Amino acid sequence: MADSASIARLKAEAMQLPSVDLDWQQMGQLEMLLCGGFSPLTGYMLRAEYESVLASCRLLDGTAWPVPVTLRLSARQAGTIETGRRIALRDGEGFLLAIMTVNDKWQGDGVRDRQLVQSSGLNCDVEQEAETWHLGGSLAGVSMPMHHDFLSLRYSPTDLRHQYHPNGREKVLGWLGSQPIHRAQHAFCQKICREENALLLLLPFGGGDMAAQADYFSLMRAYQKVLPRFDVRQTKLAMLPIPPMKSGLREQWLRVILARNYGCTHVVAGVEQGESQDAIQDEELAAEGFDLAAEAEKIGLRVVPYPRMQYVRAR
């Protein structure tokens, strides 16, 4: 985010710039870039980096990163935007959020993108309309997107890191969820926190829109209801302003990065059911050339695999 003196200058500059109105998904992505949730990213990827992530799950400098992050626009929106120019990014009501310097622009190619993903061996959702355009470039933040719900749960990564680590409790277990937490998962979190003498951070994916995608509201209410069943002195509930990805190893890696950025030292992986109704298991947390636990250790995080659940007739 820009400092106060720069914000006044940016607002004046924005009056002369072409504007793009963002939808709720784009605003969530922008918020994560501005608040540090997507660190080490500070802006939208250029094409070379976008293709590198699809093909190898790595940025150009070799840092592991699982999903492409670009500003996706329709042909109509992208038509008048030129590379090298600056544009104003606004919410649906016209409030200025950031100014973007457009360093790259290209038309989406779903066929080529799927080929790159297949070469990586790690699935990724790259379905896109034929008229999708991508913009890449740097950002100068002016204001975070405004919210009117769950205001007490909207912490930035900096807020949480400052709350946790000055207290002398170095260990924080992260639970990132896109589904309500159930009794077995509740017991598992408590068990790991006792064994590791760790605090617990419940961090559900709360991205949505009350008009277009209101599922997040029920999810957040469910987490608020389960919170008193934990030790409230050692448990924190916050929310992510983005929706979850489809189930898979790339999503698990994104969860690891988000947990690290929000101050966690441990993260539970493979906890939720995907479209197959099966939770990702310990042996599925690695693929050829990519080991989730090993990559997590490189950024100072320990992956705690969720155990395989089985029906036991005797119980």
Q: What pLDDT digit, counting tens, does each position of 13-40 carry?
A: 999 999 999 999 999 999 999 999 999 9
Average pLDDT score, the chain: 88
The confidence band for 272, taking pLDDT boundaries of 50, 70 and 90, is low
Angle at 91 between CA 138 and CA 179, to 5 degrees: 90
* 145 vs 124: CA distance, rounded Å: 27
Query: What kind of architecture, by CATH, is found in domain 151-305?
Result: 3-Layer(aba) Sandwich (3.40)
Highest mean pLDDT among 74-78, 122-126, 160-164: 74-78
- What mean pLDDT comes out for the span 143-157? 95
Question: Closest by alpha carbon to 203, among 166, 159, 169, 247?
Answer: 159
pLDDT at 180: 93
pLDDT at 278: 47
Residue ranges of the chain that CATH labels 3.40.50.620:
151-305
The highest-level CATH class for domain 4-141 is: alpha beta
pLDDT at 2: 86
3-state secondary structure of 221: helix
Top pLDDT among 210 and 43 is at 43
Q: Which phi and psi (to 5°) does residue 179 adopt?
A: -135, 155
- What mean pLDDT comes out for the span 128-140? 87
Residue ranges of the chain that CATH labels 3.10.400.10:
4-141
- What mean pLDDT comes out for the span 288-303? 86
* 217 vs 76: CA distance, rounded Å: 32
Is the pLDDT confidence value at 279 over 60?
no
The confidence band for 249, taking pLDDT boundaries of 50, 70 and 90, is confident
Is the pLDDT confidence value at 60 over 90?
yes
203-225 confidence digits (pLDDT tens): 999 998 877 788 899 999 999 99
